[in-house]
Amino acid sequence: MATISFIGAGSTVFAKNLMGDILSQPELADSTLRLHDIDEERLHTSEIVANKVAEALGVSPTIETSLSQDESIDGADHVITMFQVGGYEPATVIDFEIPKKFGLDQTIADTLGIGGIMRALRTIPVLNGLAANMEQRCADATLLQYVNPMAMNMMALQRTSSIQSVGLCHSVQGTAEQLAGDIGVPVDELAYRSAGINHMAFFLEFGQRTPDGIVDLYPRLREFSAKGDIPDRGHAERSDGGTVGLSDAVRYEMMDRLGYFVTESSEHFSEYVPWFIKEGREDLLVDFGIPIDEYPRRCEVQIGAWEHLRAQLIDPTASIDVIPSVEYGASIIHSIETGTPRVIYGNVANDGLIDNLPETACVEVPCLVDENGIQPTKIGKLPPQLAALMQTNINVQELTVEASLTGNKEHVYHAAMLDPHTSAELDLEQIWTMVDELFVAHGDMIPAMD
C-alpha cells in the first residue's frame, strides 16, 4: 500500500484529477492519501473531494489531512507538489502589473521572462525546504514536482537535494494529441520522440505506426501549415464573460522556420522569444492570435471554478465525475509500486543526456519508469538551431537559480537583461528599475538578497 502526500492539496481541481487517476489503478486503490495545505478552508474542500472521488470509484483509500507538512510527508512513499507561492493575489498580479507599467506585456509569465524569474525566486526556497524536510522524514520517497517555473525549480532541486525527483508537465502528450487531431491521425497510432527543455522541447520524430512500419508525419504537418488554416485551441473565458481565442499560429510559424514542432502552447512560447510580442505591433498579436494577460484571466476563471465546486460540495448528495487526465503522476507511482514499465517525459538533470546543452541544465527527455525508479534516456545532439534557441532560455534559468541559491541580487538583473522578450522591449535602465520595484512589491515573499 503506497502512502502519497499531496503538498498544496488546496489546488482542489488539479488534486482531484490526480487522485482520480491514482485511485482508478486497482493496485493503488487502497493507498493512503495525505492532503496538506496551509489554507484550512481549501484543505477541507479537497478532503470532501477526495472522499467523493473514492465513492465514485467504489474504492476505500485512507484519506488524511494536515496543516503540518511534517505530518504529511513523514514516511511517505511519494510526494506530489502542486502549490503556488504567493497565490494569484498578490504575487501573480504583481508579476503582471508592474512590468506592464514599463510597457512589458506578458501572456502566462510562469516559466521565463520577468514573471518566471520572480516566481522562481518565491518558489525555490520553499521547494528546497520541502526537499530538505523529505531527506529527514522520507529519504527514499519520489518527489513528483508539478510547480512552475519547472526548469528553474528542478535545476535548484538537482543542485541542493539527494531526493529522487522528476519535474512533470503535460505539454508533450497534450501537444501530440492536438497534432493528431490537426491531421486526422488516431492518437493511439502515434510514435514520437521529443527532447529539449521544459516548454521548449521539440518533436524530433513524429510518426504514425502502420502495418508497414512507422510513417513520418512531418510532411503532413507541413502541408497542413501551408494551407494556412491554423487551428484555434479553443477559447479562454474572461472574468467579464467574454472570451479570447487561443490560436496555434505561433507554433506552426516556428515549425516552418526551424523544421520541428515545439511542445508547449503558442501563448506560452510567444513570450520565450523576442519576435511576437512587441510594443506598437498590434498586428502581430492579431495575426498570431496571442492573448496578452492570459494567465490572470485563467486564474480568475479557476478561482470561480473552485468557488462553484465548493458550493456543489455543500450538498451531501452531489456526486463527482472522475475523468482520466493526461498527467503522468499516477502512472509513475503505479510503475514504481508494481514494476510495470512505462515511458514518460520528465524534467531531470542533463547529466550527459543532451550533448549540446549545458551539463547543469534541466532537460525534458523520455524516461523509463519501473521498480527501479525514473531512468532518463540519452538523446545525443539536438539539431543546432534548436539547441541555440534553448540556450537563450537556459541563460535566464541559470542566472535566476544562481541568484536564489547564493542570495546575489545582481544575478536577478542579469537574468532579466538576458531574457529574450524583456530585452527586446526594455532598455537597461528600465530593466533595473522594474526589478527594483518588483522586489519592493514582493516584500518578504522573497528571502532577503544582497
**Distances from the Cα of 104 to the Cα of 53, 121, 328, 356, 420, angstroms:** 43, 19, 34, 31, 12
Active site residue 170: yes
Determine how β-strand 3-7 pairs with β-strand 32-36: parallel
Residue with grid cell 534516456, as numbered in its chain: 377
Catalytic residue among 36, 44, 78, 170, which? 170
Separation of alpha carbons 187 and 246, rounded Å: 22
CA nearest 17: which of 134, 126, 152, 168?
Answer: 168
Determine how β-strand 362-370 pairs with β-strand 342-349: antiparallel
**Distances from the Cα of 60 to the Cα of 11, 13, 15, 25, 54, angstroms:** 22, 20, 17, 12, 6
C-beta atoms surrounding 324 within 10 Å: 10
Residue type, 193: R
H-state helical runs in 205-292 = 218-227, 249-258, 266-269, 282-288
Separation of alpha carbons 146 and 430, rounded Å: 33
Distance of CA 329 to the CA centre of its chain: 13
Q: Which residues are catalytic?
A: 170
